[in-house]
Structure 1
Amino acid sequence: MGAELQPAGESATAGESAMDGLENFGGNLIEALSGDGGDAEEDGEEEHGGDAEEDGEEEHPAAEESDSSEDEVAPRNTVGEVPLKWYDEEEHIGYDVTGKKIRKQSKRDKIDSFLAGVDDSKNWRKIYDEYNDEEVELTKDETRMIRRLLKGKTPHADVDPYAPYVDWFNWEDKGHPLSNAPEPKRRFTPSKWEQKKVVKYIRAIRKGWIKFDKPKEDPSVYLLWGDDSTSAETKRQGLSYIPAPKPKLPGHEESYNPSVEYIPTQEEINSYQLMYEEDRPKFIPKRFESLRSVPAYENAVKEEFDRCLDLYLCPRARKKRINIDPESLKPKLPSRKDLRPYPSTCYLEYRGHTGPVKSLSVQISGQWIASGSTDGTVRIWEVETGRCLKVWDVGEAVQHVAWNPLPDLPILAVSVGHDVLLLNSGLGDAEEQLRIEELLRVEKSTSVNDDGNNTSIVNWVRHDKHEGIQVKHFKAVSTVDWHRKGDYFTTVLFSKLARQY
């Protein structure tokens, strides 16, 4: 078919233009569509369609909806609307939906295009899609649409651009209007919701919620990493000049006629040579009769060179010194009058001990308190009334007292000298007293040793005088404390040894 439409040279030109892209496809394709040639199918279509259109008696068949979903298919290339010239030097033209590169196809030369046009009768329909790097074959409907566009007609044959205009609102009889409904009441009555909104605005204005002459506030914008004042000065003045620090002025140690006691001896000068250079004094004073006899300073050039290096290499920065009054750093103590109410008078006093009280312990119920004193007595007091309930005379200074934390076992542990006494306070009902007596019963003396030997470290002995248990240690006991469950207690000795029972 291609040979009948155009000669070989023109077919080669069509193949070349097809490879150049969709924008240049119109050369031979338009020539083939606008010419008298074409395949038998196209000629037949022109005979049925073209003559009828020229006579004005064309029957417009109903346009069929195509079931093709070609227009809905997403393009194969996903690079977007970017210039394709960016990929001229690349081996690919973009990426597909899976992210893989789309390789470029090998381009055909003019001979291959000519042979393709000779072998394939529909080669003249093919155009090159530069975006997806593929050849697209036009359908019959598309070629028919192109022919109509070349002739200056509408793309679709079923569209009549010269159909008579029907003015539906200005018909000949004008007997009845299009809408004869009466005007609604809402057209000429005040709006209910607008009235509510106006009342809401009036109430807000009266209460000051809405202010019309509100002063314009300055934007509260600040630099996050710098001082506003410093940054403003830097922006206004640029990089401000910071003068170099002045060199240290000579002091009294560089006097040309110092006192004799400031002049080092030869031994001291020799000892300077044994010191490290950074620890060695930089200037050794000497004595001259007059200022004219002072020679040139031997380290002058070196010190000036070091100063130039410091000025060149060390950056300068201005630091603001804040003068703070030391009195402002002290915390301000509140007045004693502001701390009221606080106890200012003695409410209750527990009298009975003749010596200093060394230890206090409150029973778990909070009703009783135990105290131990250096007078050798342990007393139980009632907290609310201050009444002394019981007194034990242990004969030595009491170091520490501790109640058992269980409320149903009111046992008191007392550390006295080298011993720990477990005493029955006598509190509680009869059942609790029977249980306490059972716990404080010792058949015979027992000893405890870490190695399991018979060497006595701690001895448990029945204390008949106070009806309790006496735990004897080999060192003085300073502190005794109970476990929270009440089944163990711990003692602390002065010999850095702690025992748990």
Structure 2
Amino acid sequence: ARPGSVLHPPGPVLHPPGPVLHPPGQALLCTPPTRPGPALYSTHQARPCSVLHPPGQALLCTPPTRPDLVLHLYSTHQARPCTPPALPSQDIRNTVGNIPMEWYQDYPHIGYNLDGKKIFKPIRNKDELDEFLDKMENPDYWRTVHDKTTASDIRLSDEQVDLVHRLQKGQFGDVNFNEYEPSVDFFTNEVMIHPVTNRPQDKRSFIPSLIEKEKVSKLVHAIKMGWIKPRKPKETTPQYYDLWAKEDPNAILGRHKMHVPAPKMRLPGHEESYNPPPEYLLTEEERMAWEQQDAEDRKLPFLPQKHSCLRAVPAFSRFIHERFERCLDLYLCPRQRKMRVNVNPEDLIPKLPKPKDLQPFPTTMSLVYIGHSSLVRSISASPTGQWLVSGSDDCTVRFWEVNTGRCMKTLEVGGAVKSVAWNPNPAVCLVAVCFESTVLLLNPGLGDRLVVSSTDQLITSYEPPEEDKEQAVTWALSEGPEHDNGHRLTLTHPKAVKQVVWHGKGDYLASVMPDNSSNLQVLIHQVSKRRTQNPFRKNKGLVQCVSFHPLRPYFFVATQRYVRVYNLIKQELTKKLMTNCKWISSMAIHPGGDNLICGSYDCRLAWFDLDLSTKPYKMLRHHKKALRGVAYHKHYPLFASGADDGSVIICHGMVYNDLLQNPLIVPVKVLKGHQITHDLGVLDVTFHPTQPWVFSSGADATIRLFT
């Protein structure tokens, strides 16, 4: 027999113990086993490690897992026994399994091999000095680990060290693994005909369980028989303990050291004398008022009395009661030492700039517009600042020239005018007037003739649509003498209108009809298309006033206590401002659009910073009576408020572009001139569009200009 060729990488053919049986003369197919075993045996001749196959044919086998062992194959022409190579001592496998190695601590061996023989422990006679020298001299000491199973030192390879480093860094063990592979949606990328999870329900899922029925019936029977009883709550017995058992005796001494003496009683004054001065004696009216007051509200707990001499002074009837209250104060009232803090009062006052440094602002009354016979409820200035319109309870609308105070035109309407608003678009000459349930659009015919004619042409060029839709408001075009007086369009509402306000571009107009029982409290009208729409299906609360945002598509609606901000494009509520007021009367938006002021009937003016919070940034209480109107200046950092106390207060309100800096609010001037009539003072205020002037209308039927 001669050795045959090696047809696979060097390594033994390992398989579980036992002979391998196959028909003589056929090839043997073998795969690498998981556990090492003895050599292969043939059934043709019972000799170890003889493999029979047709002469000249190769032996097919899978490459083994241990390339360090070599298996020599021989031809089948002459079969000779082949002695398997002996395994090195370091490759002897310990078959004790995954058990604590402390079990073999007192034995000379550490386990058993595959043949059941003991594997003795290697000799380890290294002490601490040898360990230190090995650590200093052995360059591979840092990569050497101790295997408890074989009780030997193993040197880690470079691949194993790299694996440890990757695991310590939280990386994947496989270098070739790509954690950022594009995900493949293997579940829904292909549409299936049948669903994946459409298994029908089991029959037991909708049939009552018999086992549960039997259990419940047994429990019911046990409850009826009295075998199962509810748990009775345990009776809690009072526990007595020493209240001062855990108290430190040193703490008692410390408490005595920190003793705070009781304050002494107040010494009697002149009012407690038996013969007080006459000014300390109460009159009959003061005595009756003292008797009607509560005991807590009285300044004196007794009535001063006058006696002719000391012998006539009777005994004090409330002596025992007074002593008892004194004892209660000593026993129950806690005491503390208050350290006086020396604070400069000027440091508590915020440092504000002087008003003279904040000019220009209106300071003096320059003109008085006289002509109305009743209180003037609303005023509005033209975009150019040359004209002023006013509406009064005398059922008239008057147009004034600002510089001269001359009344240019007077128009009579069918009721008391509640609100007037001049169109803010300088290319359109229109004025909105509301009285009773009507909103009237007027063309006063003042100013540039081209603007006046283009406004009339814009209104008359309207073509009605083919399909008329039902609207909440009736649009009517004025004709005849009404057209000659300046009437252009009439909008008839279902209920009384309180306020009208224009959009910044001048095409949209909003009207307010405060009524809790109706959903038509706010309507928005488009003049160019003569169309009316109701933006709200349901109004939460009684609407007081509305306003358009000067820059963004936002709409502000003020109810009695809240201001709601709506996004007209998204048709949703953006913010809800809490004014902390009882009843809102007026509202104004800053030209920048990020700030808002609200006046209320409870003498408060609230400044809101919309970017900061939904609560007031500042709450001003400088008016003594209800606020009727508030206004912002379009160009100057000024805002004004008018109230029933007959005064107009001008404040400097600087808004900075830096969002980190809060607005600066400084009251600069109190303007007085209106007379209080029927408990009403200033009813409306508005600023000149270009100059630092302010107009105010009052209940005294006058309009005043402050410059």
Class of the TM-score when normalised by the shorter of the 2 chains: 0.3 to 0.5
More strand by share: 2
Scaled by the length of structure 1, the TM-score of the pair is 0.34
Scaled by the length of structure 2, the TM-score of the pair is 0.25
More helix by share: 1
Which structure has the bigger radius of gyration?
1
